[in-house]
Homo-oligomer: A and B are copies of this chain.
Amino acid sequence: MTGDKLPTMQAVAEKAGVSLATVSNVMNQPSRVAPATRDRVRAAIESLGYIRNAAARDLKRSRSDGIGLIVPDILNRLFVDMARGAQITAGQRGLSLLLANAVYAFESFDPLVVTDQQDQFLDFFAEERTSGILYAAMSDPTDGINRIRGHVRPIVVINYDQPGDWCSVLMDNRQAGRIAVEHLAGIGVRRVFYVSPPDAAQPIADRRRGVAEGAASQGLELTEVTTDGLEFEHGSAAMAELLAGRADGERIGFVGMTDALALGALGVLREHPELRIPEDVAVIGLDGTHDGARSDWVSLTSITLPGYRMGEEAIRLVLDEAQPGHRHERVILPVGMRLGASTLGSAATAGGADGTTP
């Protein structure tokens, strides 16, 4: 088998006793071919095990049917949801979604360590002349897009707000910060600590702004605490420090930029049975990354992000780009909130839209 030539369309044509063009029509415009001929051709395809050569096809049509999606890292649940939303929507429309995982170094805030493959995949999809590219960028995508724009036109930028000649799908990170703080105000907290690493990425800055806005509108006292990272241990360190400075009997709210930060804070509270949650300390996380609500020692109240819907929207927009009257859109999807015992105490029930699954 190994050395054999693969069957070509020509071989199918000969076997079926028709011309090349007719075979092609059977595959691409079946209605143009008489039923009897069609059946004969299909039988020939079947018996030869013919599989169309995408390279030849794409070369002639000067584009491929695939749609590329570049995400920073599927380790982050947000991008898993996004990929599934795009995947399932693309599948429904008969397109193949190709997922490229850039392995962006989330863990590290040292820009020297960030050796992701975003550009490599952008070039790959450009070489492939895919029908479109969905690009979940972690930094300004303008240069990368300009480099390849001539080669694949429909591009949708996801999760990075940058004006340009493309559609954007965003989530409302400011809203996330705002409603978290409003929720704390709603349960009676007046003094809020916002715990976050520096503004190394757009969502971080936006959530910070939202928190500030919420605090201002609610008349809360807001203190920003800057951490070295966005993981559990950074949250623990921040909470330990807050407790050291907390006045006796004072009620405080802890807002973590990520769920991991909030969980780290809860970890410290576990060692302090004298503190009541949420009466003394209330905790909330902003990225819906954590979904262990039912097994947490105290279930975490958290913002939920619309990853799945962002993937759906991105496919819709990238397809719309091929339509005659297309106008670029900037879609901002709302976030949700999942309530837990970390702000509601034992009264908490599972609830809230989670935007995770269809």
Contacts and interface: CB of A to CB of B under 8 A. Distances in A.
Interface of A: 1-2, 4, 6, 49, 51-59, 62, 64, 66, 73-75, 80, 83-84, 87-88, 91, 96-101, 103, 117, 120-121, 123-124, 126-129, 147-151, 153, 232, 263, 266-267, 290, 292, 294-297, 300
Number of copies: 2
Contacts of A117: 91
Contacts of A296: 292, 295-297
A120 B147 CA distance: 32
Contacts of A57: 55, 127
A105 to B, nearest CB: 11
Q: Which 9 A-B pairs have the closest CB atoms?
A: A55-B58, A297-B297, A292-B292, A55-B59, A54-B127, A99-B99, A263-B295, A54-B128, A55-B55
A59 B295 CA distance: 54
Given A91-B117, A99-B99, A100-B96, A127 B53 contact: yes
A66 B120 CA distance: 13
A66 B121 CA distance: 11
27 contacts: A1-B149, A1-B150, A6-B62, A6-B150, A49-B147, A51-B126, A53-B59, A53-B62, A54-B127, A55-B55, A55-B62, A55-B128, A74-B83, A74-B84, A75-B84, A83-B101, A84-B101, A84-B103, A87-B103, A88-B103, A91-B103, A96-B100, A97-B100, A99-B100, A290-B292, A292-B295, A295-B300
